[in-house]
Chain A
Amino acid sequence: MSRIKSCLQELKVKGRKALIPYITAGDPQPGVTVKLMHALVEAGADIIELGVPFSDPMADGPVIQLACERALVHGVRLVDVLDMVSEFRTTDSVTPVVLMGYLNPVEAIGYETFLERASKAGVDGVLTVDLPPEEAEDFCAGLKRNNLDAVFLLAPTTSEERIKQICDVSSGYVYYVSLKGVTGSASLDVDEVATRLEAIREITDLPVGVGFGIRDDKSAASVAKVADGVIVGSVLVNKIAELASTPDSIPQQVADIIRGMRQAMDA
């Protein structure tokens, strides 16, 4: 069983919801990332989504675009991100890590090379924002061969027919984008999310993580009531940006946000 699947099953048995922080690897500098990952786990994160920096993150808002730019100043490449995961794995063999990013850096090193190296580094799943299932046949086959989970997005605009098609090729969990927009934009409407999740659950048994628009303890707790996982990104990345000039303080202070959300979700 994959690390993601067993993590989510275990949480289900305990009646808890997954807290899934997103950070951009190498932001604001490469030395911070692994320490921050450990601090997030210690503060109550269940799965970590690790963003692969890309020069043109079209589906992201300014917060994550700037995070990519900060990482790229240090020349952080996809292979460097894999090295960070390897380093993380030397002391944490339990917490699942999902790489989230865009297709072109993967194309540049080739699907096979990437997937083999990702698997070896201890990556558990891959979410490629600009690779929809209809273009992903080879990629999904490669993920499977390397025992990696394929995480795809569902959006408010996704038809029921497409939800089925996407869930058929997904594993681990599916990521429901709670609003029409880019990361870090508006706040989500929990009632609307609840209605959509009901429809999604009629189609799939996969756990559903919800992201976009979750920015504080309160919204994390209310989403946790309806979703299997709560995905938080821009609010953390904003904090990292604030602290960019004092990088040593980042792991603790960013983890504090997660700690607050964890408590609110478990209350």
Chain B
Amino acid sequence: MPTNVDFKALMDLPDELGHFGPYGGRFASETLMSALQDLSELYEKLSKSPEFQKEFDADLAHYVGRPSPLYFAERLTKEVGGARIYLKREDLNHTGAHKINNTIGQALLAKSMGKPRIIAETGAGQHGVASATVAARLGLECVVYMGAEDIRRQALNVYRMKLLGAKVVSVESGTKTLKDALNEAMRDWVTNVDNTFYIIGTAAGPHPYPKLVRDFQAVIGREARQQCLAQAGKLPDALVACVGGGSNAIGLFYPFIPDKNVQMYGVEAGGHGLETGLHAAPLCKGRPGVLHGNRTYLMEDESGQIAGTHSVSAGLDYPGVGPEHAWLKDCGRANYVAINDDEALNAFRDLTRVEGIMPALESSHAIAYGMKLARTMDKDQVLIVNLSGRGDKDIHTVAEIDGIGI
């Protein structure tokens, strides 16, 4: 583990080849290398262009509905009895989650490359919906890959994507969840690389994806920082966000990286419990390896085969994690913890009951840890939890667990 890391210097990562310390990089098959190179070059150019930034900001304001509020959860704070809990309301974005911030950005890249077709992978369906949405808006063909198991769990989002004109392809290989959907999307891209733009939904994959997804999601943290200063009169003492691939977490964390007094907590899916092995918590329990184009922490067996994962939330059910999180962990800049299925479900109910806000099961992991953490903090301290998505899509799952057929 590196010592005396200059936190401010972490902001300059990744390097030219996409490395965050030993993590990240570009581990892709040769057919994709030139497309990745082209995308890197285009992004370097556009990210410095004021016109591009202006167009992105305008779309976020008028189409997504940003800025999203920073909401003081007064009753929840009272009930918990600790730090003041603020919720960054990404659930109020158009399409109901933070995912749209990234698809708006990547769609602008697809448009400027003149690609008529976009593909995406999805777990909970939020990224699939966000991709289908921008495709509809720009008149692009859209194909979404989704694990067969997730299609079952997230029927509502599947139908939304179809209404938006996307083709949803059921992935029957492997564990039939997010990682297999990613494999299948990569296979499509290798085959159709000439006319297709691949919108990766999380801050993982081969360079430049972890960087550009982070940059597009960092609007969350920039807004939260300003809002917190304005509303609470100071920077937050801690940030909490759920981590599957880690895009909402890195979006919130990134602008706070140099603020060394702001503690960061990424919450992984503890599934049935870390000790059972049935979870999706590579940062807590995995080790470094290479999958899906980047080096990062993975859940794998001793011989390097990727392990099956379990989480009640489809969006966190992934054996890898974005490479920047891997490096923030090793550098000691962020802490990574786990919340079990049951704790997340309780948080889902608590927030619904106390604040009238129904969180996505993914975000419920962050809520659960936020409540735990707030209890250990002083009443004048401030905690921001990223409420990354809304829970409508999960009502079926929760009802099923309650034994109620809808």
- Using CB atoms and an 8 Å cutoff, list the residues of chain A in contact with chain B: 53-59, 61-62, 65, 69, 72, 77-79, 102-109, 129-132, 134-135, 152-159, 162, 166, 177, 180-182, 185
Looking at the assembled complex, report how far the CB atom of B117 sits from the nearest CB atom of chain A, in whole angstroms. 14
Asked if A105 and B303 make an inter-chain contact with CB atoms under 8 angstroms apart, the answer reads yes
Chain A neighbourhood of B27, CB < 8 A:
103, 130-132, 135
In the A-B complex, the 8 residue pairs with the closest CB atoms:
A108-B304, A105-B304, A77-B303, A155-B31, A59-B29, A153-B30, A181-B191, A55-B305
Q: Looking at chain B's contact residues, is the secondary structure mostly helix, strand, loop, or mixed?
A: mixed
**Cβ-defined partner of B191 (8 Å) among A65, A107, A185:** A185
Chain A neighbourhood of B17, CB < 8 A:
134-135
Q: Looking at chain A's contact residues, is the secondary structure mostly helix, strand, loop, or mixed?
A: loop
Task: Give the CA-CA distance A57 to B190 in the complex, in Å.
Answer: 13
Task: Give the CA-CA distance A106 to B303 in the complex, in Å.
Answer: 8
Between-chain CB contacts (< 8 Å), 22 pairs: A54-B304, A55-B174, A55-B306, A56-B180, A56-B183, A58-B183, A79-B303, A102-B290, A103-B27, A104-B290, A104-B305, A107-B290, A129-B29, A131-B27, A132-B26, A132-B27, A134-B26, A135-B27, A153-B29, A155-B30, A180-B192, A181-B191
> Which residue from chain B places its CB closest to the CB of A101 in the assembled complex?
B304
Query: Is B347 part of the binding interface, using a Cβ–Cβ cutoff of 8 Å?
Result: no
**Cβ-defined partner of B304 (8 Å) among A106, A130, A134:** A106
Query: Is B194 part of the binding interface, using a Cβ–Cβ cutoff of 8 Å?
Result: yes
Q: A155-B31, A177-B31, A180-B31 are in contact. Are A61 and B187 (CB under 8 A)?
A: yes
Chain B neighbourhood of A129, CB < 8 A:
29
Beyond A59-B31, A104-B289, A107-B288, 17 additional pairs, beta carbon < 8 A: A54-B304, A55-B305, A56-B179, A77-B303, A104-B304, A104-B305, A105-B304, A107-B304, A108-B303, A155-B29, A155-B31, A155-B33, A157-B193, A159-B34, A166-B30, A180-B191, A182-B190
Binary A-proximity of B21-46 (CB < 8 A = 1, otherwise 0): 00001111111111100000000000
Asked if B187 and A154 make an inter-chain contact with CB atoms under 8 angstroms apart, the answer reads no
- A55, A106, A156, A182: which has the most chain B beta carbons within 10 Å? A55
Chain A neighbourhood of B29, CB < 8 A:
58-59, 129-130, 153, 155
- Using CB atoms and an 8 Å cutoff, list the residues of chain B in contact with chain A: 17, 25-35, 173-174, 179-180, 183, 186-187, 190-194, 288-293, 298, 300, 302-306
Asked if A108 and B300 make an inter-chain contact with CB atoms under 8 angstroms apart, the answer reads yes
**Cβ-defined partner of A158 (8 Å) among B33, B179, B292:** B33
Asked if B193 and A56 make an inter-chain contact with CB atoms under 8 angstroms apart, the answer reads no
**Cβ-defined partner of A152 (8 Å) among B30, B187, B289:** B30
Asked if A108 and B302 make an inter-chain contact with CB atoms under 8 angstroms apart, the answer reads yes
Looking at the assembled complex, report how far the CB atom of B285 sits from the nearest CB atom of chain A, in whole angstroms. 15
> Which residue from chain A places its CB closest to the CB of B25 in the assembled complex?
A135
Asked if B305 and A72 make an inter-chain contact with CB atoms under 8 angstroms apart, the answer reads yes
Task: Give the CA-CA distance A40 to B27 in the complex, in Å.
Answer: 32
Task: Give the CA-CA distance A56 to B308 in the complex, in Å.
Answer: 11
Asked if B187 and A103 make an inter-chain contact with CB atoms under 8 angstroms apart, the answer reads no
Chain B neighbourhood of A105, CB < 8 A:
303-305
Asked if A132 and B289 make an inter-chain contact with CB atoms under 8 angstroms apart, the answer reads no
Chain B neighbourhood of A181, CB < 8 A:
31, 190-191
Looking at the assembled complex, report how far the CB atom of B180 sits from the nearest CB atom of chain A, in whole angstroms. 8
Task: Give the CA-CA distance A157 to B38 in the complex, in Å.
Answer: 11
Chain A neighbourhood of B35, CB < 8 A:
157
Looking at the assembled complex, report how far the CB atom of A154 sits from the nearest CB atom of chain B, in whole angstroms. 6
Asked if A104 and B194 make an inter-chain contact with CB atoms under 8 angstroms apart, the answer reads no
> Which residue from chain A places its CB closest to the CB of B306 in the assembled complex?
A55
Chain A neighbourhood of B193, CB < 8 A:
157, 180
Asked if A182 and B304 make an inter-chain contact with CB atoms under 8 angstroms apart, the answer reads no
Chain A neighbourhood of B30, CB < 8 A:
132, 152-155, 157-158, 166, 177
Asked if A56 and B306 make an inter-chain contact with CB atoms under 8 angstroms apart, the answer reads yes
**Cβ-defined partner of A62 (8 Å) among B25, B33, B173, B190:** B173
- B30, B173, B191, B290: which has the most chain A beta carbons within 10 Å? B30
Task: Give the CA-CA distance A58 to B173 in the complex, in Å.
Answer: 11
Asked if B300 and A104 make an inter-chain contact with CB atoms under 8 angstroms apart, the answer reads yes
Task: Give the CA-CA distance A104 to B287 in the complex, in Å.
Answer: 11
Looking at the assembled complex, report how far the CB atom of A74 sits from the nearest CB atom of chain B, in whole angstroms. 12
Asked if A58 and B31 make an inter-chain contact with CB atoms under 8 angstroms apart, the answer reads no
Chain B neighbourhood of A102, CB < 8 A:
290
